[in-house]
Structure 1
Amino acid sequence: MVTPRVLPFGDRALLVEVGTLAEVLDLHARLAASPPAGVVDLVPAARTVLVHLDPSALPLAAARAWIAASAQLSSVMDATDAAPVVELPVMYDGADLTEVAALLGLTADTLVARHAATEWTVAFTGFAPGFGYLVGPDWEFDVPRRANPRTRVPAGAVGLAGEFSGAYPRDTPGGWQLIGTTTAPLFDPFSDRPALLTPGTRVRFVRSRASALAAAPAFRATGALSEPEAAADPARAAAHPAGPAPAAARPAAAARPAADPARAAARPAFRVLEPGLLTTIQDQGRRGHASAGVAVSGAADRAALRTANRLVGNVETAAGIEVTMGGFRAVAETDLWFVATGAWGPVRLDDREVDPYEAHAWPAGTELHLDWFAHGIRACLAIRGGIAAPASIGSRATDTLSGLGPPPLRAGDRVHLADDAIVAIPAEHLHPWSPPDDGAIELELAPGPRAGWFAPASQATLFESVWTVSNESDRVGIRLDGPALERIDTRELPSEGMVPGALQVPPSGRPVILGPDGPVTGGYPVIAVVMDAARDALAQARPGTRLRFRHARYA
């Protein structure tokens, strides 16, 4: 194997680049065979493997040494060959089957036979949770994507694009050529192993001669992803209309009751009167599942939620409420305690104004009103006991892009209490809390893997300019207004792993900073990455906020 290039990717990741997809498969197998403590996730893509790290357990220098040593091991592809085979029943009834066969100079029956005879391997996942990009050593066809992508591809659709085959776990827009349908349980957010197709899994398509395939049960979603290439553009991806979530629950999940038993047994906490602009349930997110196409999500201002939970005696990981811009009103259905942190604005119990960052009694029947915020953009509302909601992939967080987790709160929703209080409410806290800074926020940037793709003048521009948060910003990504950054390498970049805080530069030249719900892979070059510790300050940057970047100071 050729010695891979190890590229920097902020302070919590490294990007390992090789020359071919076959080398990616080999490299991923080598790294997965012996991960030391501190490796959070391994995310293969078309030409790279992204290594997510916990630097407190595995410093970047030690991770580089481990990667170099792993690359020198004997090939472990035989371990991949010994991986279990997943058989996917498929009915070859796709709308594009005849046209694609003719394009390849084959009959439809021949194309079906070749597809079913190929033993596929999941090279990587991307653009939607559980969507695997499958490659086969005997599959020599290169199938062009549709000139006009469909606005809706149904869950279970089996398709071809380029050298890949794949199956859609959920309804989503897409441009792959559709050749069949499967009811295989591709993704179940409530399972310990949510994605059926993970990197390295071997796959066989088994032809079904049934006249029709039964529809699998669907989970509700709050957003839909775009075609894989568009997933690199957060604003475009977020603009797609909502669609149902994965249409394939595993057999055990198919019988899952509509109401979550733990939530049903929980005490009602409050009823939403007005949700404001956007109000979601959030905790500390889903770390370590990017290889299955699952973003970390969770509170945008993680420190604000941890602080709020401490102030009402909860565990720091308890779920709370994230309110964007304010306008939230709710009435308590039992006696509660609450605290509001993060964004700063009037907080009222009935007609009495109370202070943020201080625990307050919220008597039953009393209305709580978080008015429009004057400083910052996201407030964290913690309730003593925490918020009860069905956990998907170990988290109660709402992912606005993929649709994982509970949907955003609406007027009339009833929210229930969990059991996450562990200590008494602390005595009055004397910390001098202050509102988020609405002036120019300074953020430290670490190098990105594609910094060399930009002109030296662009590097200077990035750090010398004042950037403005645009109105087209959300939990998926923050668009910046400012000067265009000029690229000197204009090659098309195959999709590669992403992290929250990455500064992607689309063709416009103006950066987009990926947020907690951002895509886990993308095809725009990353010039730099916001340091992890700075992401909480970034979470409070509202449209019009000015940003200045500084070089990170770390080893």
Structure 2
Amino acid sequence: MVRARVLPMGDSAILVEVDSLDHVLALHAQLGASLRNGVVDIVPAARTVLVRIDPRELSLADARAWVQTAAAQASPEARVASDEVVLDIAYDGPDLAETADMLGLSAAEVADRHASARWTVAFTGFAPGFAYLVSPDWPFDVPRLASPRTRVPPGAVGLAAGFTGAYPRETPGGWRLIGTTRARLFDPDAASPALLVPGASVRFRRVPDPIRAPADPMEPGPGPEPEPRRQPKPQPATEPQPALGPDPSGVRIVEPGLLATLQDLGRPGAASLGVSSSGALDRSALRTANRLLGNREGAAAIEVTMGGLRAIPATDQWFAVTGAWGRILLAGREVDPYEAHRWGAGEELHVDWVSHGARVYLAVRGGFDGRVVLGSRATDRLAGLGPVALTAGDVLPIAGDAVAPIPVAGIAPWGAPHDDELEVDLAPGPRGDWFTASAHRTLFETLWTVSNDADRIGVRLDGPALERMAPGELPSEGMVPGAIQVPPTGRPTILLADGPVTGGYPVIAVVTDAALDLLAQARPGTRIRFRHAR
């Protein structure tokens, strides 16, 4: 039996807090063995398990009851042994000597202790395939670097707190680097994309010579040397690549504007691999654009931030523009948004800079094509998955996702997004008890302002600091889009679709799923007032 405390996490998730990492792994295994329809994601972390649901299929009340039943049936002592993954490692990291001094050991002793330990994957997060490994044979609590590196190469093996882990791709990072592995830790084209999954057993096998770090899987180029998978087969590093080759029936980007990416409804269900849901920030606008053209609602379209895009089709097409408000010029003449328009071959479409809202969606009949990664064509800016941001000269093929005729008349009323002041509904977060009563009043009484730090990953708000009762940070726990994290500065940040799947800042509240589309159109300077969700 696992003692479980069920905490709220917005209107489509719950966070289950348990006593230890062993209990996390036991509960995660039991939930996986008794999976219910409507469960989107199960994300283990240091002391919690996040359960995301689709409320249309499974209510929060039923999810809580299912979790409590699973907790009563879970047995930490009965964990099933997994196949062991062996990672070759050279202990050549730049922080090895300094870390050894901190621990009162020699560099050779640190390497010996690390290689002789039997490690278990506790959870994943931070980046796709980044696994947090723990071991009863490793008693050391290693502090992170005071100043994180701006670049940690792929394959670097590091230490932080009681964990060890290997970086699957080049990212910033604050772990102390002690070695290098050439293992392909994340391969989005593999049947099992993550080499290290929660509950897996891991052993580091020492090699005498320095290892050439693997190619960053997010950069085009030849693949690394063979990896130690149980079915080892070297795979070429294939992402992110434009996947937008010369197609005679495609649409050519003349100018991408400030930022243009390919987006569909994302890749929910992969958070346990460290992969966020991603996808269009304004899902309603994407769905509407596709319905106007007779497409599947989730067909891929171009998400244009603040406008400025110019594009030309090679053959006749139909298009629709939804979302943020600005002039739309087709061959120099102005046309309306929220309507299907004929787009003649060679005619330039100009989505001008927007005056209201932040994100425009350009859809074509059939949807745009692009490389599918974990079931989605969406570009994930944080993880580096999917096609890279569009650039001048890219040609996007047409996918053929039309499923119905183009409607004869418009299907919905439309107007300029209200981006001066938004009212956004909040549901309770799991760590509300970390904050004072005055902080909760401040959250709902303040007229917050969207700062310049706003992108697809998250939105930082300007306003008063939210006062905590509990200092410090949490052990990493699962996050959802809409989670309002509060760092020690007290300035809240709202995570969005490309945000990390785990985090260590307490979540005071969560934006409701329906209100996330409003935030997609919030630009720097937009004022936000929060209200309790009904």
Tell me the TM-score range normalised by the shorter chain: over 0.9
Distance change in 2, residues 1:431/1:216 (3 Å): same
CA–CA distance in 1 between the matches of 2:221 and 2:499? Answer: 19
Which amino acid in the other structure matches residue 106 of structure 1? L
Q: CA deviation at 1:28?
A: 2.1
CA–CA distance in 2 between the matches of 1:361 and 1:389? Answer: 23
Counterpart in the other structure of 1:224: none
Distance change in 2, residues 1:542/1:145 (3 Å): closer
CA–CA distance in 1 between the matches of 2:348 and 2:112? Answer: 64
**1:171/1:244 contact within 8 Å kept:** no
Distance change in 2, residues 1:523/1:272 (3 Å): same
Which amino acid in the other structure matches residue 421 of structure 1? A
CA–CA distance in 2 between the matches of 1:257 and 1:67? Answer: 38
Alignment RMSD (CA, Å): 2.4
Q: How does 1:30-45 map to 2 (within 5 A)?
A: 30-45=30-45
CA–CA distance in 2 between the matches of 1:247 and 1:198? Answer: 21
CA–CA distance in 1 between the matches of 2:240 and 2:513? Answer: 36
Q: CA deviation at 1:420?
A: 1.1
Counterpart in the other structure of 1:370: 351
Counterpart in the other structure of 2:326: 345
Q: TM-score, normalised by structure 1?
A: 0.90
**Percent of aligned pairs with the same residue?**
60
Counterpart in the other structure of 2:187: 188
CA–CA distance in 2 between the matches of 1:447 and 1:528? Answer: 5
Distance change in 2, residues 1:362/1:35 (3 Å): same
CA–CA distance in 1 between the matches of 2:57 and 2:213? Answer: 45
Q: CA deviation at 1:145?
A: 2.4
Secondary structure in 1 matching 2:329: strand
| 1:532 pairs with 2:534 | no
CA–CA distance in 1 between the matches of 2:413 and 2:164? Answer: 57
Secondary structure in 1 matching 2:22: helix
Distance change in 2, residues 1:258/1:133 (3 Å): closer
CA–CA distance in 2 between the matches of 1:219 and 1:2? Answer: 38
Counterpart in the other structure of 1:455: 436
Which amino acid in the other structure matches residue 93 of structure 1? D
Q: How does 1:128-167 map to 2 (within 5 A)?
A: 128-167=127-166
**1:245/1:403 contact within 8 Å kept:** no
**2:224/2:234 contact within 8 Å kept:** no
Counterpart in the other structure of 1:46: 46
Equivalent residue in structure 2 for 1:273, among 240, 254, 257: 254
**1:220/1:244 contact within 8 Å kept:** no
After superposition, what is the alpha-carbon deviation per residue over 1:340-382, rounded to whole angstroms, capped at 9, x for unaligned?
Answer: 0111111001211111011111111111000111211111110
Q: CA deviation at 1:289?
A: 1.0
Which amino acid in the other structure matches residue 66 of structure 1? W
Counterpart in the other structure of 1:216: 214
After superposition, what is the alpha-carbon deviation per residue over 1:438-473, rounded to whole angstroms, capped at 9, x for unaligned?
Answer: 342211110001111111122122222222222221
After superposition, what is the alpha-carbon deviation per residue over 1:407-428, rounded to whole angstroms, capped at 9, x for unaligned?
Answer: 1111222222112112222212
Distance change in 2, residues 1:40/1:453 (3 Å): same
CA–CA distance in 1 between the matches of 2:65 and 2:239? Answer: 49
Which amino acid in the other structure matches residue 495 of structure 1? S
Q: How does 1:1-400 map to 2 (within 5 A)?
A: 1=1, 3-80=3-80, 82-209=81-208, 211-220=209-218, 252=233, 254-255=235-236, 267-400=248-381
**1:95/1:178 contact within 8 Å kept:** yes
Q: CA deviation at 1:389?
A: 1.0
**1:268/1:333 contact within 8 Å kept:** yes
Q: TM-score, normalised by structure 2?
A: 0.93
Which amino acid in the other structure matches residue 38 of structure 1? G
**1:188/1:249 contact within 8 Å kept:** no
Counterpart in the other structure of 1:544: 525
Q: CA deviation at 1:476?
A: 0.9
CA–CA distance in 2 between the matches of 1:4 and 1:359? Answer: 52
**2:3/2:19 contact within 8 Å kept:** no
Distance change in 2, residues 1:388/1:267 (3 Å): farther
CA–CA distance in 2 between the matches of 1:487 and 1:245? Answer: 49
Which amino acid in the other structure matches residue 441 of structure 1? L
**1:186/1:249 contact within 8 Å kept:** no
**2:247/2:396 contact within 8 Å kept:** no
Counterpart in the other structure of 1:479: 460
Counterpart in the other structure of 1:240: none
| 1:432 pairs with 2:413 | yes
Q: CA deviation at 1:10?
A: 0.3
Q: CA deviation at 1:264?
A: 5.0
Distance change in 2, residues 1:249/1:512 (3 Å): farther
